[in-house]
Amino acid sequence: MSPKRGVFLDEFIDIINNKDLILLNEPGVGTFFRRHMARPTVIDLTFTSRGLSNKIEDWQVLPDLGSDHMGLLFTITWSSTSSSLLSSSYERFNIKQADWEMFNKNLKTTFNVTYDFNYNIENRYSTLELDTIAKIFTEKIIEAANSSIPKTTTSKFAKPW
């Protein structure tokens, strides 16, 4: 660790290197600005895995969104097999009518564990194992949601808010 860098920064750099992440930000393009500052600084970073990086296009900063943080915009392209996402309507969870108690109960039953959020998972599992764990967690969360949150059909022309 260099004397000027903190432990957090060194750990952050180690994770970036170990996971082979790529920074999408354009060097020198600021992402944060307040009136008292001489120029924008780069505080918001966009990282991607090497496998996804060739699917990302048109990374850009949106300067004025009413916040001191500028918006980051980019496009992720996908194969034609994903075109079903562009159908005229799609189902999504109606969270306004969710039974959150049932969701919580189902989630606890599914995992049947308590989590220690101070546990350092990065050093215990390989990237492949972490990907598998993430997929299992996602499946279990969707199962709990399916059993406790009704669905609604939304048109592709509907407003996102």
Q: Looking at the structure, do residues 151 and 113 belong to the same domain, yes or no? A: yes
What total number of domains does the chain contain? Answer: 2
Sign, CA torsion 78/22/18/43: negative
- The pLDDT of residue 3 is 54
- The pLDDT of residue 10 is 84
Instruction: Look at residue 114 and tell me if it is in a domain.
Output: yes
- The pLDDT of residue 116 is 45
Question: Last residue of a domain, which of 77, 95, 116?
Answer: 77
Q: Looking at the structure, do residues 73 and 94 belong to the same domain, yes or no? A: no
> Domain limits at 99?
86-155
Q: Looking at the structure, do residues 38 and 64 belong to the same domain, yes or no? A: yes
**158 or 2, which is more confident?**
158
Q: What is the pLDDT of residues 29-68, one digit of tens each?
A: 999 888 898 988 898 899 998 888 888 888 998 877 778 8
pTM exceeding the 0.75 threshold for the entire prediction: no
Q: For residue 97, give the nearest of 44, 142, 151, 50 by alpha carbon.
A: 151
User: If pLDDT is split at 50, 70 and 90, which confidence band does 151 have?
Assistant: confident
Q: What is the pLDDT of residues 88-140, one digit of tens each?
A: 455 778 888 889 899 888 888 877 655 444 455 556 667 677 777 778 888 88
- The pLDDT of residue 85 is 46
Q: What is the pLDDT of residues 71-89, one digit of tens each?
A: 888 888 876 554 444 444 5
Instruction: Look at residue 61 and tell me if it is in a domain.
Output: yes
Q: Looking at the structure, do residues 51 and 92 belong to the same domain, yes or no? A: no
With H, G, I as helix, E, B as strand and everything else as coil, classify residue 72: strand
- The pLDDT of residue 154 is 61
Q: Looking at the structure, do residues 25 and 42 belong to the same domain, yes or no? A: yes
- CA dist 130 and 20 (Å) reads 14
- The pLDDT of residue 155 is 62
- CA dist 29 and 83 (Å) reads 33
